[in-house]
Amino acid sequence: MSLYEIIKVPNPFLKIKAKPVIDINNNILTILNDMLETMYNANGIGLAATQIAIDKRLIVMDCGKSDFEESDVTEEEYDEKVRNNKIEPNPIKMINPEIINLGKDLQEREEGCLSIPGYNANVKRPSSLTVKYINENKKVITLEAKGLLATCIQHEIDHLNGILFIDHISKLKREIILKKAIKEYSKQ
Ligand code: ZN
């Protein structure tokens, strides 16, 4: 296992549209494992290959395994459950994920991003979806998700298309966050 460096704004690689994986070989499986390790190490719940400057349609997530997908748990309640170890780990690795259906209802959640650490904003997105992907055993999986997992899947697939969560908020808010974040990171 090894850790990747997570790139931050304004790295232009974050705007790149990632390419589909054609051959699911050991290299891809190693990247996925190291992505999960990198995500856990950074206390994230999702990571896209774009964020480690790899131009492939790969995402990893762990929104936990619990009843939270059924009920609409807020981010704070989720964090509380994680702290109290009430949520079991549930690592998910997706190769070439594709949203095949988006629910009509919207939900608003506070989102953050390992590529814009320290800055959060509320984002409105569909509250449920169906995603199709290939897993690490080369099986095609169709998964229905709602709540936090649905938000996370949309956020990570956005990364593969060069889109950040701040692209979903107002131009004014986006520019404030970007300006502050870029100034802060340039000092590091
Ligand atoms: Zn992100």
Whether 76 is a known active-site residue: answer: no
Measured distance CA(115)–CA(127) in Å, rounded: 23
Amino acid at position 67, single letter: D
| Mean pLDDT (whole number) for 105-132 | 96
Domain interval for residue 127 = 12-186
The pLDDT, as a whole number, for residue 89 is 85
Whether residue 180 lies inside any domain: the answer is: yes
**Residue 96: CATH number of its domain:** 3.90.45.10
pTM: 0.91
If one counts the domains in the chain, the total is: 1
Dihedral sign of CA atoms 98, 118, 32, 73 in order: negative
- Per-residue pLDDT tens digits for 56-85: 999 999 988 755 555 566 767 777 776 676
CA of 103 to the centre of ligand 1 (A): 21
CA of 151 to the centre of ligand 1 (A): 11
| Mean pLDDT (whole number) for 8-32 | 98
CA of 129 to the centre of ligand 1 (A): 18
- Which residue in the list 75, 108, 156, 175 is annotated as catalytic? 156
CA of 84 to the centre of ligand 1 (A): 25
- Per-residue pLDDT tens digits for 134-188: 999 999 999 999 888 999 999 999 999 999 999 999 999 999 999 999 999 999 8
Whether residue 47 lies inside any domain: the answer is: yes
